C-alpha cells in the first residue's frame, strides 16, 4: 500500500503560499492528493514519498522524448553556458524557424511564443486582422488555452449543449472573472457535424474571421474527424474567405513532425504548435501562409513576449525535432506501435473483466473511457462516459505504480517500451479486478 504522507503535508504547506496549492487548476484534481515530484528520468517519475511510477501523464504532453532525455539535456546545458536569453536576435531563432517551415506543411513563416495559449491568441489576432472580421467559430469539447477571448470552460467539465448561440452574449463565460463580453465574438458549435458547420459558415461568413479546431479532438476522447469533415472545412473556409486555424498544440510533433495536418494532407491557413515542440521546455509557435504571417512583419499585428525565441527554448525545440526526425521518423512508428499495444491490451482487459470500456487511439496518445457505448465519435458520446469510474481507476493505478491523468488522456513517449507496456497491463489487470463491474 502506497502512502502519500509527504505529498499531503507539502500540499497543505503549498496552499498557505501558492494559490490553490498547485500551479495550474487542473492539477488540483489528482486523487487522493496532488502528488509532489522528487525526480524523474526516462519513463519513470518518483514522488517525495519515494513512490515510483511509469509516467503516462508526461507533463500533459510535452515530454515526447521522456524525462531528461540525455541528448536534449546536453544541448540545453550547452546553450545555457552561452546565455539563457538575450533580448536581441540569435542564430537559433533562424535555425528553428527554418526547420519549422521545412517540417510543417502549413508554415511558410513562423512566430514564437511561450505557451499554447499565447500561440492561439496570436493566431486569432492574425485571422481577425487579415480578414477584417471578428467572429470565431470554435467547437464543444475542444480546448484552446485559457485566454479570455476563447476560453469556454475546460472540456471535461460540464457545459451547455446548446448547439448554436444566435446572440452575441449567449456563450457563457468559462470562468469567474471573465467578462461577459469576452466571448461575444465566439460561435460555439458541435464538432463532427458537417451540415451544421456548412450552414453556419454560409449564413454568417461575412462576420466570421476564423474557424479554429483541434484536428483530432484530443481534449475530449481523442476523437477522429469524420471522413471528409476537415477536407470540407478547408474547402468551405477557403471559398468563403475565412481563415482556418488548426490548433495542433497537442498533435503537433506528437502525431508526426508535420502534425495532424501533415499526416492528413490538409493545409490550414494557420497552425499552432506547443507542448511536444520543446520536449518539456516552454515554447510554442504559430505557422502559416506568408500573406497572413507578414502582418506581423509589417507591424500591423502586435506580437510580443519578453522571453519569445530565447536560446534555451529554441535549442530544446531544434534538438527535439532533430531527434524525432532521425531514421525517417521511425520513433513515430515506434511510439504509435507502443501506444497501439497498450490500447489493445486495455481493450482486452476490459473484455476479460466484463467492464464496459473503450479506448480511442489515434497515435502516441489515447483516451480510456468507461462507457457502455461501442463508439465515441462525438462530444455528446464522450460526455456520457463514467468520469467518476475513471477517476477511481486512475487513483488505483497510482497505487500500482502507473501515473495517468485523471481525465483519461494517456501520452506515450519515445522511451516507453514493451517492458513498460507489460508492466502497465499487469497493473491494469489488478486494478480492474478491484473495480465493480
Ligand atoms: N491548445 C490545445 C489544443 C491544448 O490542448 C492546450 C493545452 O492543453 C492549449 C492550446 C494551451 O496550451 P498551454 O497550456 O501551453 O497554454
Cell of 154: 475546460
Q: What is the dihedral of CA 179, 180, 186, 189, to 10 degrees?
A: 120
**Residue 160 has what pLDDT?**
44
Average pLDDT over residues 171-188: 90
CB 320 within 8 A of CB 277: yes
Atom of ligand 1 nearest to the CA of 120: 10
Residue 180: CA count within 13 A, CB half-sphere: 4
Per-residue pLDDT tens over the stretch 103-151: 999 999 999 999 999 999 999 999 999 999 999 999 999 999 999 999 9
365: nearest Cα among 318, 330, 416, 321: 416
Cite the beta strand spans of 173-228 per DSSP E.
186-189, 208-213
In the prediction, which pLDDT does 362 show? 97
Name the CATH code of domain 1-56 (choices 1.10.150.120, 3.40.50.300, 3.90.1150.10, 3.50.50.60).
3.90.1150.10
Q: Which atom of ligand 1 is nearest to the CA of 142?
A: 3
**Residue 390, phi then psi, degrees to nearest 5:** -65, -40
Integer CA distances (angstroms), 43 to 57, 333, 387, 401, 419, in order: 10, 18, 26, 12, 11
**Separation between Cα atoms, residue 251 and residue 194, nearest integer Å:** 22
DSSP 8-45: HHHHHHHHHHSGGGSSSGGGGG-SS----EEEEEBTEE
> What's the pLDDT score for residue 163?
47
Q: What is the pLDDT of residue 180?
A: 80
**Ligand 1 pocket test: which of 60, 114, 116 has the largest number of ligand atoms within 8 Å of its C-beta?**
116
pLDDT tens digits, 352-401: 999 999 999 999 999 999 999 999 999 999 999 999 999 999 999 999 99
**Of 19-28, 149-158, 389-398, which range is least confident?**
149-158
What's the mean pLDDT in 266-272? 98
Residues 6 or more apart from 183 whose CB is under 8 A from it? 149, 150, 152, 171, 172, 173, 174
Q: Percentage of the chain with pLDDT > 90?
A: 90
pLDDT of the residue at 169: 46
Contacts of 194 (CB under 8 A, 6+ apart): 226, 228, 229, 232, 233
Q: What is the pLDDT of residue 172?
A: 86
Distance of CA 52 to the CA centre of its chain: 25
Query: Is the beta carbon of 248 within 6 A of some atom in ligand 1?
Result: no
Residue identified by cell 501562409 is 289
* Stretch 176-185: mean pLDDT: 90
The alpha carbon of 291 and the centre of ligand 1 are apart by a number of angstroms equal to: 25
Query: Cα(73)–Cα(70) distance, rounded to whole angstroms?
Result: 5
Average pLDDT, the chain: 95
The residue with cell 513562423 is 110
Cα 40 to Cα 54: distance, rounded to the nearest angstrom: 10
Q: Which residues belong to the active site?
A: 143, 247, 275
Q: How close is the Cα of 136 to the center of ligand 1, in Å? A: 17
> Distance (Å, rounded) from C-alpha 233 to C-alpha 200?
12
Q: What pLDDT is stored for residue 156 in this prediction?
A: 52
Is the reported ipTM for this assembly greater than 0.85? Answer: yes
Within a 10 A sphere around the Cβ of 71, how many other Cβ atoms?
Answer: 13
Pocket test for ligand 1, best of 222, 252, 275, 317 (most atoms within 8 A of CB): 275
Q: Where are the domains of the chain?
A: 1-56, 70-323
pLDDT tens column, 413-433: 999 999 999 999 999 999 999
Residue 164 has pLDDT above 90, yes or no: no
Q: How far is CA 337 from CA 256, 341, 363, 416, in A?
A: 13, 6, 8, 10
Average pLDDT over residues 35-51: 98
Give me the CATH topology for the region 70-323: 3.40.640
Phi, psi of 303, deg, nearest 5? -135, 115
Average pLDDT (299-323) is 97
Q: Cβ distance 284 to 112 under 8 Å?
A: yes
Amino acid at each position: 500500500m502506497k502512502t502519500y504522507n509527504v505529498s499531503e503535508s507539502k500540499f497543505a504547506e503549498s496552499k498557505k503560499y501558492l494559490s490553490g496549492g498547485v500551479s495550474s487548476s487542473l492539477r488540483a484534481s489528482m486523487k487522493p492528493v496532488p502528488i509532489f515530484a522528487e525526480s524523474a528520468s526516462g519513463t519513470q517519475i518518483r514522488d517525495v514519498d519515494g513512490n515510483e511510477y511509469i509516467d503516462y501523464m508526461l507533463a500533459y504532453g510535452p515530454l515526447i522524448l521522456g524525462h531528461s532525455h540525455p541528448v536534449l539535456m546536453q544541448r540545453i546545458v550547452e546553450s545555457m553556458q552561452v546565455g539563457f536569453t538575450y533580448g536581441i536576435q540569435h542564430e537559433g531563432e533562424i535555425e528553428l524557424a527554418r526547420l519549422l517551415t521545412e517540417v510543417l506543411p502549413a508554415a511558410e513563416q513562423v512566430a514564437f511564443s511561450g505557451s499554447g495559449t499565447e500561440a492561439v491568441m496570436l493566431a486569432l489576432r492574425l485571422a481577425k486582422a487579415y480578414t477584417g472580421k471578428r467572429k470565431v467559430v470554435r467547437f464543444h469539447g475542444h480546448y484552446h488555452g485559457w485566454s479570455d477571448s476563447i476560453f469556454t470552460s475546460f472540456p471535461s467539465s460540464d457545459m451547455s449543449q446548446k448547439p448554436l448561440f444566435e446572440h452575441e452574449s449567449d456563450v457563457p463565460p468559462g470562468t469567474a472573472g471573465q467578462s461577459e463580453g469576452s466571448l461575444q465574438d465566439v460561435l460555439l458549435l458541435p464538432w463532427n457535424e458537417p451540415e451544421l458547420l456548412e450552414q453556419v459558415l454560409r449564413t454568417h461568413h461575412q462576420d466570421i474571421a476564423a474557424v479554429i479546431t483541434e484536428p483530432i479532438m484530443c481534449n475530449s476522447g481523442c476523437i477522429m474527424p469524420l471522413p471528409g469533415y476537415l477536407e470540407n472545412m478547408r474547402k468551405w473556409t477557403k471559398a468563403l474567405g475565412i481563415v482556418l486555424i488548426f490548433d495542433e498544440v497537442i498533435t503537433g510533433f506528437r502525431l508526426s513532425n508535420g502534425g495532424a495536418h501533415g499526416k492528413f494532407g490538409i493545409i490550414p491557413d494557420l497552425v499552432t504548435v506547443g507542448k511536444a515542440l520543446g520536449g518539456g521546455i516552454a515554447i510554442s509557435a504559430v505557422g502559416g501562409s506568408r500573406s497572413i504571417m507578414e502582418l506581423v512583419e509589417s507591424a500591423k499585428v502586435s506580437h510580443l513576449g519578453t522571453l519569445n525565441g530565447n536560446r534555451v527554448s529554441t535549442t530544446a525545440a531544434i534538438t527535439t525535432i532533430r531527434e524525432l526526425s532521425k531514421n525517417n521518423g521511425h520513433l513515430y512508428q515506434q511510439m504509435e506501435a507502443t501506444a497501439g499495444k497498450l490500447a489493445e491490451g486495455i481493450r482486452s482487459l476490459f473484455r476479460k473483466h466484463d467492464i464496459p470500456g473503450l479506448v480511442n487511439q489515434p497515435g502516441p496518445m489515447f483516451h480510456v473511457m468507461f462507457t457502455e457505448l461501442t463508439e465515441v465519435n462525438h462530444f455528446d458520446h464522450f460526455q456520457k462516459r463514467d468520469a467518476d469510474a475513471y477517476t477511481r481507476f486512475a487513483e488505483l493505478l497510482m497505487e500500482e505504480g502507473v501515473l495517468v491523468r485523471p481525465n483519461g488522456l494517456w501520452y506515450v513517449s519515445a522511451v516507453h517500451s514493451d517492458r513498460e507496456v507489460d508492466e502497465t497491463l499487469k497493473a491494469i489487470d489488478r486494478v480492474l479486478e478491484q473495480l465493480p463491474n
